[in-house]
Structure 1
Amino acid sequence: MKRNYTWLMPAALCSVILTSCGGDQAGQQQQNPMAAAAPVTAYTVKAEEVTGTDTYPGSVVALNEVELRPQVAGYITNIFVQDGQEVKKGQRLYEIDRNKYQASYQQAQANLQSAQANLARAQKDLERYERLAEREAIARQQVDYARTDVQTAQAQVAAAQAQVRNVSTDLEYSVINAPFNGTIGISQVRIGAQVSPGQPVLNTISSTDPVAVDFVINEQEISRFQNLRQGQQPDSLFTIRLTNGTTYPQPGKLIAIDRAIGRQTGTVTVRVQFPNQQRQLVPGMTVNVNVLNQDIGSQPVIPYRAVTEQLGEFYVYTIQADSVVQQNVQLGTRFGASIVVREGLKEGDQIVVEGMQRLRQGAKVQVGGPQGAPAQPAAGR
């Protein structure tokens, strides 16, 4: 008995075709994962009024500061100022026992007077001998001896004058005066202490108004600060914030950039001068120096979380239609959770702020939820 299986062939063929079609579609879906749109949250770039600053740690230094050291030996006999007192230029500060130096000065003066009297006698003798020589009433040799006596007396007067100046200097050094207006520190010696030239440090005096603030910059910033020094400096270009969080009420002025870059650090010191009438700034105080940068006025501001970094460059994902483009940006000043974009974006651009982990160039996206958390207000920064 024969059985006819010809009716099974079309059914088997259709099954193979359907299986093949289904397998191709599944393979295409596996090979093109970008076909599925990634859910993201977007933010529309806005321009905000900002005042951008760069911050550097700095320290307050006195424009003039001198260690007071003795120039002569002796005992401290008087201290004319109190610790921490403000002093004026030329004011007496310390006195070293002057008796010995006064006696030396008086003796030097007496020696000078004696030498001057001897010179006067020798000059009169020379004049008399010269008149006698004109009448040939004296030997020429006697006149020559008289001229030699005058020259010797003149040398003795010069030596006596030098000795007077020497002991006079020692006498002056026995009283130490303030070299400039400023504030004196805590005395390191008391009355009765024995001192010698150069030792010990008696005290330190420093100027108080104005003062300077020193901070360091890296070598890439040198040209910027040189331009600031040579050009017109805005009133609020340099400000400082004290350790208690308050801003010093008066701005500063750039006065110096150090002569060379440190070989070990690659940095250079910058000095800014500040008025200090109220004595709020004390040498050695630590402050933060704020320097205005180019981020001033209306600038594009975005949430910092929208930024990604690759090999030292910064990117954001901009939304174009239903896909994203990786956009290189140059960043500026950061304000908390927000940051200024100097180049790469403009007002009105849409960027991704959430869901970036699943994105790459040209990825399909589906914007959902609110248009991103707004950046913190930048006005008045």
Structure 2
Amino acid sequence: MNKQLSWAIIITGAGWLFTSCKDDKANAQPAPPPVPVNVYTVTKGRASYYDQYPATVTPLNQVELRPQVNGYLTGIFFKEGGRVKKGQKLYEIDRQQYMANYQQAQAGLQVQESNLMKAQKDADRYHELEKHDAIAKQQVDYAEAALEAAKKQVAAAKANVESVQTGLRYTTIYAPFDGTIGISLAKLGAAVSAGQTLLNTISSDDPMAVDLAIDQKDLYRFGQLQKKNANAGDSTFKLILPGQETYPHPGHIYFIDRAVDPQTGTIKARLVFPNKQSDLKAGMTANVQILNNANTEKLLIPQKAVVEQMGEYFVYTTDGKLAHQKKVSLGAKIGDRVVVNDGLNEGEQVITDGLQKLKEGAPVQLGQPKPAGAPTAAK
């Protein structure tokens, strides 16, 4: 290839490259204009509000009633769904067979006691003869052995009587404590099996327990509340019923469980509430509101600065030029603001207006920052 041809190729390529660059510049989209936004400076403030926890109403004491003997149900002595007293007769299982067994065991005991009496007299007589060398030593030994055997037979007969008597006693089922009994699951005449057939369930109902799971980071605060509110109810603990009504009676902490669940990082706390009108039922789901009046400052931002995406919460912060999305963990809502538990630092600027036009890295044009106002107390 001669030099003239090489220069022609170079010049042609350069011309094509120059033309291509001009075309790219002509086709390039202009940069989007900055989104006008307003911002809010994140600050700390003291606030009184209620933390809310999902909870379950549960009895302090509950037991399933199951028979301890086999037989047919011959008596039911309570009103289903009503209150029962400790020691009240609830069910009766056919007693005839167990009574017959008891009488037979009593008769067997009497026979063995008679045998013991005879063996005792024989032994006493032989010992008296032994003193005068009027009987062989072997006969005395036999009498002593017979006496010991008779004693053991009497003991066995007494044990049998107690066992049969226990079975007879178990034919009647009594309420183990004061409480409310449910609908009977066995009807009159039904065959029941020891330890198998579920007859009913009885539970205490005043007071009632309310169980909730608290985060381990709140454990110390709950421990202090337990000491402060032991055996005294005040407005610290409120119960919100399924219909969103506020239960009229306050509660207090009954206990905090012994250990944190390593899988969830939570620990169970149990509150108790009075229930004289039986408004609280076992198994109800509710919410517990606990007054958070800790003397610590919280980060507060306007609620309108928060964006929810698939159950998670985000805000947009800015350095004055670009918008940056941050995931946040939120706490209680206080008026038009919300507590930020995690994800932001004091002094950062969050965007409060123009959020619908923003995405990560979008350019922004700032309005005037809005100063933090006094937080609103929870109602």
TM-score band w.r.t. shorter chain: 0.7 to 0.9
Find the aligned partners of 1:46 and 1:156 in 2 and give their Cα distance: 88
CA contact (8 A) 1:229 1:255 kept: no
Change in 2 beyond 3 A, CA 1:285/1:258: farther
CA contact (8 A) 1:49 1:380 kept: no
Partner deviation per Cα, 1:272-307 (whole Å, 9 max, x = no partner): 131322211101111112344466688664312335
TM superposition score normalised by structure 1: 0.72
CA contact (8 A) 1:308 1:316 kept: no
Change in 2 beyond 3 A, CA 1:364/1:271: closer
Percent identity between the two aligned chains: 41
CA contact (8 A) 2:35 2:363 kept: no
Find the aligned partners of 1:361 and 1:60 in 2 and give their Cα distance: 49
CA contact (8 A) 1:337 1:375 kept: no
Counterpart in the other structure of 1:257: 257
Correspondent of 1:96 among 83, 93, 98: 93
Find the aligned partners of 1:197 and 1:131 in 2 and give their Cα distance: 54
Deviation (angstroms), 1:268? 4.7
Correspondent of 1:69 among 66, 71, 74: 66
Count of matched residue positions in the alignment of Structure 1 and Structure 2: 335
SS at match of 1:129: helix
Find the aligned partners of 1:286 and 1:47 in 2 and give their Cα distance: 34
Change in 2 beyond 3 A, CA 1:197/1:362: closer
Find the aligned partners of 2:289 and 2:377 in 1 and give their Cα distance: 17
Give 1:153-192 correspondences, 5 Å limit. Answer: 153-192=150-189
Correspondent of 2:131 among 105, 130, 134: 134
CA contact (8 A) 2:317 2:349 kept: no
CA contact (8 A) 1:257 1:269 kept: yes
Find the aligned partners of 1:126 and 1:267 in 2 and give their Cα distance: 75
Find the aligned partners of 1:337 and 1:228 in 2 and give their Cα distance: 27
The structure having more radius of gyration, on CA atoms, is: 1
Find the aligned partners of 1:283 and 1:312 in 2 and give their Cα distance: 34
Is 1:143 matched with 2:137?
no
SS at match of 2:48: strand
CA contact (8 A) 2:34 2:364 kept: yes
In the alignment, structure 1 segments of 5+ residues that lack a partner are 1-32
Find the aligned partners of 1:37 and 1:285 in 2 and give their Cα distance: 53
Deviation (angstroms), 1:102? 1.4
Is 1:280 matched with 2:275?
no
TM superposition score normalised by structure 2: 0.72
**RMSD of equivalent CA atoms:** 4.1
CA contact (8 A) 2:84 2:178 kept: yes
Give 1:188-267 correspondences, 5 Å limit. Answer: 188-217=185-214, 221-225=215-219, 228-229=222-223, 232-234=227-229, 235-248=234-247, 249-257=249-257, 259=259, 261=261, 266=264
Is 1:367 matched with 2:329?
no
Find the aligned partners of 1:73 and 1:39 in 2 and give their Cα distance: 82
SS at match of 1:176: strand
CA contact (8 A) 1:242 1:288 kept: yes
Find the aligned partners of 2:351 and 2:64 in 1 and give their Cα distance: 61
Matched AA of 1:70: P
In the alignment, structure 2 segments of 5+ residues that lack a partner are 1-30
Change in 2 beyond 3 A, CA 1:95/1:363: closer
Partner deviation per Cα, 1:86-139 (whole Å, 9 max, x = no partner): 111111100111122112112212221221222122122212211221221211
Counterpart in the other structure of 1:125: 122
CA contact (8 A) 1:306 1:316 kept: no
